[in-house]
């Protein structure tokens, strides 16, 4: 796949901290699931060393550099330093070391716009862009194995705010994540605080990859935990109220 004798990492991810949920929970997971060796700041930068030194070594030791482009990325001096330093190693793009990934719509500067970028800002093209990214990195996606998905038998009590909080924790992007949209729209349309088993079955039927089945399972587990915690809290409050009433008598 890669010449491991020359580089310690397959790819270094240059991104703005505000985009860490997507980078950590989506991009990094997909790349490492394909056995790519990824260098990422919060895990691989050595503590106590100057940040500039860490950035320099990460770029020198990585065959490819991914630029996760958003308006916030282009406003940061640190990320500007990262992509400009990357360009000094391959100014004409002959080695194709720097791969721009347009995550959110933004006006690209000339020093980046001369490169062909991957467009993740358009949801309908996301599948194609993932394949192009894997091809650029030299990794091959594993054919998905379809696993049976068992939705919960009873409704899960959860409101729209809790649902969106779970989606954020899981790194789902409400803007372009299919199931995040469906779950939120379902709760908003019904005006109720529960999701029934029929809805989960419908989502599972639309799932055609193991990854999506796993995502649904993670969401259901998180939602069930929140519902259970809420129930315990309500029971404790009721018990406390009863105790206070008895004390007052």
- Residue 4 within any structural domain of the chain: no
Do 126 and 168 belong to one domain?
A: no
The residues, any chain, with a CB within 8 Å of residue 32's CB and separated by 6 or more, are: 38
pLDDT at residue number 182:
73
Do 88 and 58 belong to one domain?
A: yes
Do 112 and 18 belong to one domain?
A: yes
- Residue 151 within any structural domain of the chain: no
Do 125 and 191 belong to one domain?
A: no
Query: 105: left (phi > 0), else alpha (psi -120 to 50), else beta?
Result: beta
Do 116 and 165 belong to one domain?
A: no
Three-state SS at 98: strand
Do 102 and 21 belong to one domain?
A: yes
pLDDT at residue number 47:
92
Paired residues of 98 in beta bridges: 65
Do 170 and 233 belong to one domain?
A: yes
Token digits of residue 243:
């105790």
- Residue 148 within any structural domain of the chain: no
**Backbone angles phi and psi of 106, in degrees to 5:** -165, 160
Do 118 and 160 belong to one domain?
A: no
- Residue 212 within any structural domain of the chain: yes
Do 25 and 133 belong to one domain?
A: yes
- Residue 189 within any structural domain of the chain: yes
Domain that holds residue 171: 156-248
- Residue 19 within any structural domain of the chain: yes
**Backbone angles phi and psi of 240, in degrees to 5:** -65, -40
Beta-sheet strands, E only, within 79-189: 98-102, 118-119, 156-157
The DSSP secondary-structure symbol of 107 reads: -
Do 29 and 111 belong to one domain?
A: yes
Last residue in a domain, options 137, 166, 199: 137
Q: How far apart are CA 14 and CA 164, in angstroms?
A: 27
pLDDT tens track, the chain, 249 positions = 444 448 899 999 999 998 998 899 889 988 998 889 999 999 999 999 998 999 999 999 999 999 999 999 998 888 888 888 887 777 777 788 899 999 888 888 888 888 889 988 876 667 778 888 998 898 876 554 444 555 566 666 667 777 777 777 766 654 456 667 777 777 777 666 667 667 766 666 665 544 455 666 677 777 777 777 777 787 787 777 766 666 655
- Residue 143 within any structural domain of the chain: no
| Cα Rg, the chain, nearest whole Å | 23
State the total domains in the chain.
2
CB count within 10 Å of CB 194 equals 14
CB count within 10 Å of CB 85 equals 17
Task: Tell which residue, 93, 123, 87, has the closest CA to residue 105.
Answer: 123
- Residue 178 within any structural domain of the chain: yes
Do 162 and 113 belong to one domain?
A: no
The DSSP secondary-structure symbol of 27 reads: I
Distances (CA, A) of 239 to 157, 233, 235, 243, 245: 21, 10, 6, 6, 10
Do 124 and 208 belong to one domain?
A: no
| CATH number (domain holding residue 92) | 3.40.50.10140
Q: What is the DSSP code string of 226-239?
A: HHHHHHHHHHHHHH
């Amino acid at each position: 796949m890669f010449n491991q004798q020359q580089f310690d990492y397959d790819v270094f991810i240059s991104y703005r901290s505000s985009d860490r949920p997507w980078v950590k929970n989506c991009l990094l997971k997909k790349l490492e699931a394909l056995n790519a060796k990824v260098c990422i700041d919060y895990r691989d930068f050595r503590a106590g060393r100057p940040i500039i030194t860490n950035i320099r070594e990460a770029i020198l030791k990585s065959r490819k550099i991914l630029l996760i482009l958003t308006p916030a990325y282009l406003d940061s001096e640190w990320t500007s330093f990262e992509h400009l330093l990357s360009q000094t190693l391959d100014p004409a793009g002959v080695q194709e070391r720097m791969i721009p990934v347009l995550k959110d719509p933004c006006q690209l500067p000339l020093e980046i716009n001369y490169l062909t970028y991957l467009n993740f800002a358009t949801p309908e093209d996301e599948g194609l862009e993932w394949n192009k990214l894997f091809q650029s990195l030299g990794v091959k996606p594993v054919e998905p194995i379809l696993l049976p998905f068992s939705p919960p038998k009873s409704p899960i009590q959860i409101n729209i705010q809790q649902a969106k909080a779970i989606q954020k924790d899981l790194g789902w992007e409400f803007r372009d994540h299919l199931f995040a949209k469906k779950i939120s729209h379902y709760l908003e349309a019904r005006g109720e605080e529960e999701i029934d088993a029929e809805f989960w079955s419908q989502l599972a039927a639309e799932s055609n990859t193991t990854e999506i089945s796993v995502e649904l399972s993670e969401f259901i587990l998180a939602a069930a935990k929140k519902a259970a915690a809420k129930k315990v809290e309500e029971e404790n409050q009721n018990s406390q109220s009863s105790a206070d009433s008895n004390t007052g008598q």
